[in-house]
Amino acid sequence: MTCFAGLDIGSTAIKAALVDERGELISSSVAATGSLFYKNTLELFERLLQQAGLRREDVAYIIATGYGRKLFKDADDSISEITANAVGAHHVGKAFGGVRTIINIGGQDSKAIRIDAEGHVANFAMNDKCAAGTGRFLDAAARNLEVDLEELGDLHLTAERAPLNINSTCTVFAESEIIGLLANGHGKGEVVAGIHYSIANRTVRLAKRVGLEDRVYFDGGPALNKGLVAALEDELRRELVVPEHPQITTALGAAILAHDAYLREGE
């Protein structure tokens, strides 16, 4: 079997996706990036092949994307994560009637991308300067609250009172603010909801810079957090398209581009 791979080497997590000859997803996998980019990417790739029952020779073309894309020398090519995300979201979004705006929140950055009806990037905006609107903020909050990252979504939904205002514009100060709120007797649920609304607020401002167009697709690891999804839907006043596996959209886009590049080179 011939297949094509996309490797999204993010600042926090590496995502790998394989597509078949029709460009459809066969398998995907996620691992922490750590400090050894090359080694960890290679190990994830080998695990993905094993999981899919395939051999290295079955993979005809590999495209790397993401923050560490240049470091993975075994790839046939590399591409920006904006392009790969657009292609992945366009592909997955077809089942939802097509998407035109993408909101991506990653481990250390957040992006808004507007795409045309063919999935080409029309405009994008990025925040990679401030951790407060990113997954790193959520990781720090979970640590401060002594809960697992995966629990944040449920905690948000159990909040009995209105979300608290988290005013700090910097993660370090926000961490002190969170500790202060807990010390003053506020429940974890209202604090978590406050954090989610604070991220949602920043994200909406970013998205408005590219011009929001329906339907809006939300991806990246933090899209697994249903509390954050709810806050973002509330702030945007519209429902979001959240795929089943939001963290792998960009890797899938890279795999689809690998498939297309292989066909083009064949011609």
Residue ranges that bind ligand ADP, judged by CB under 6 A: 10-13, 66, 106-108, 135-136, 138-139, 149-150, 220-222, 224-225, 247
**Beta-strand (E) ranges in 106-236?**
110-115, 121-127, 216-219
Nearer to ligand ADP, 140 or 261 (CB): 140
Give the number of other Cβ atoms within 10 Å of residue 9's Cβ.
27
Nearer to ligand ADP, 15 or 60 (CB): 15
For the stretch 50-71, what's the b/e string if a residue is b when 16 or more beta carbons lie within 10 angstroms of its beta carbon?
eebebeeeebbbbbbbbbbbee
Query: 124 has which bridge partners?
Result: 113
Q: Nearest approach, Cβ of 151 to ligand ADP (angstroms)?
A: 9
Would the CA dihedral through 223, 225, 230, 234 be positive or negative?
Answer: negative
Nearer to ligand ADP, 26 or 140 (CB): 140
Q: Nearest approach, Cβ of 91 to ligand ADP (angstroms)?
A: 17
Nearer to ligand ADP, 139 or 235 (CB): 139
Q: Nearest approach, Cβ of 53 to ligand ADP (angstroms)?
A: 25
Query: 140 has which bridge partners?
Result: none
Fill in the amino acid letter for 14: I
Nearer to ligand ADP, 9 or 18 (CB): 9
Report the C-alpha gap between 45 and 23 in whole angstroms: 18
Q: CB–CB of 261/77 below 8 Å?
A: yes
Give the number of other Cβ atoms within 10 Å of residue 36's Cβ.
11
Q: Nearest approach, Cβ of 28 to ligand ADP (angstroms)?
A: 12
Give the number of other Cβ atoms within 10 Å of residue 39's Cβ.
10
Q: Nearest approach, Cβ of 192 to ligand ADP (angstroms)?
A: 12
Nearer to ligand ADP, 28 or 225 (CB): 225
In the complex, which residue's CB is closest to ligand ADP?
A: 221
Q: Nearest approach, Cβ of 247 to ligand ADP (angstroms)?
A: 5
Query: 110 has which bridge partners?
Result: 105, 127
Nearer to ligand ADP, 108 or 263 (CB): 108
Coil, strand or helix at 49: helix
Q: Nearest approach, Cβ of 86 to ligand ADP (angstroms)?
A: 15
